Each structure stands twice: as structure tokens, then as C-alpha cells.
């Protein structure tokens, strides 16, 4: 009787060890590479119902639910090869006490960049026309890693940390 019990236990152990569980999870992204694309010389559109300006783009392909997006606005040029990038959301304090806010939101499918202010933005077309933005897609895989420390305000530190080759930026 002991031998039969031992044999059944042994067979059970072998059978259970060969079982595996494969769970598919759309929220985990372990193979996407961080990437950057640039919107050059784009104009904000006016939304009369909100009284604000916006730039809308769809993402094709869609990103994973766990991914994150950072958006940087080119605020200046040091020289023709050295742009100055500012992370948004951002508030600009203009002369006369006026304020202009850049902000954005995103989903898996799209993103929208907003420009609003404490004054009529059409009075300062240099802030709503011919704007250049860089959109950085960061895979969700990095958000679970405690060894990844980066100053997101520093565009160059972000692309270096996430292994983005500046020569591989996609221009839209």
C-alpha cells in the first residue's frame, strides 16, 4: 500500500510540474522601445466652445495602456542645431502679468496639446502658430523599475536614459 501511495504521489508531482500558466496581460509591455516623434511648425486650432486652442493627433499604432507620454515644446534655438526643449505642462509669464499655459492629455489612441491663457491668445501668434513639439513615448515596463532615475524636465537626460537615438526621431 505504501508503494502505491508513493507511486501515485510521484506521478502527481511529475504531472503538476509540467503544467504552466500563461496569462496574457495587455497592460504589460516588456518589448516596446521608447521612441520620439516631432510635430514641426504646427498651428493650434481654436475651439469656440471652450475658448481655448488645441492640437490633436491620433496614435498609430496605439500605445499600450501602461505606456506614458511626455511632450516637450521647443521654446528657443541656441543655434540651428541646438533647440531648447521645455516639458509641458508649462506656464509662461508674459509682460503685463499675462499668463499662457501649455498642457496636454493622452490615451492609448491619441493625445491633445492645449494652449490657454489669461488673455486673448490671438494677440500673441508666436505662441500658437508654427510651434514644434517632441512627443516621447515611454514604455510602461520602465515605470516598474526602481533603477531608472531620470529628470523628466531635461529632454536630453530622458532620451539618454531610455536609449533613444536622436537620429531616429520620426518627423510628422
pLDDT tens sequence across 151-162: 999 999 999 988
Q: Is the pLDDT of residue 20 over 50?
A: no
How far is 117 from 39, CA to CA, in rounded Å? Answer: 22
As a whole number, mean pLDDT of residues 143-149 equals: 63
As a whole number, mean pLDDT of residues 94-119 equals: 95
pLDDT at 115: 97
Q: Is the pLDDT of residue 128 over 90?
A: yes
Tell me which DSSP letter residue 160 carries: H
* Dihedral over alpha carbons 124, 129, 133, 135 (to 10 degrees): 110
Amino acid at each position: 500500500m505504501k508503494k502505491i501511495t508513493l507511486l501515485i504521489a510521484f506521478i502527481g508531482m511529475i504531472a503538476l510540474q509540467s503544467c504552466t500558466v500563461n496569462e496574457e496581460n495587455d497592460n504589460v509591455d516588456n518589448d516596446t522601445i521608447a521612441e520620439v516623434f516631432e510635430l514641426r511648425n504646427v498651428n493650434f486650432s481654436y475651439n469656440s466652445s471652450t475658448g481655448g486652442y488645441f492640437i490633436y493627433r491620433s496614435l498609430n499604432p496605439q500605445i499600450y495602456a501602461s505606456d506614458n507620454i511626455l511632450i516637450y515644446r521647443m521654446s528657443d534655438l541656441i543655434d540651428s542645431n541646438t533647440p531648447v526643449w521645455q516639458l509641458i505642462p508649462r506656464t509662461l509669464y508674459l509682460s503685463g502679468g499675462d499668463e499662457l499655459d501649455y498642457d496636454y492629455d493622452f490615451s492609448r489612441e491619441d493625445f491633445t496639446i492645449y494652449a490657454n491663457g489669461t488673455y486673448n491668445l490671438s494677440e500673441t501668434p508666436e505662441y500658437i502658430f508654427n510651434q514644434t513639439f517632441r512627443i516621447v513615448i515611454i514604455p510602461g515596463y520602465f515605470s516598474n523599475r526602481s533603477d531608472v532615475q531620470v529628470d523628466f524636465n531635461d529632454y536630453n537626460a530622458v532620451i539618454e536614459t531610455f536609449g533613444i537615438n536622436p537620429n531616429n526621431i520620426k518627423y510628422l
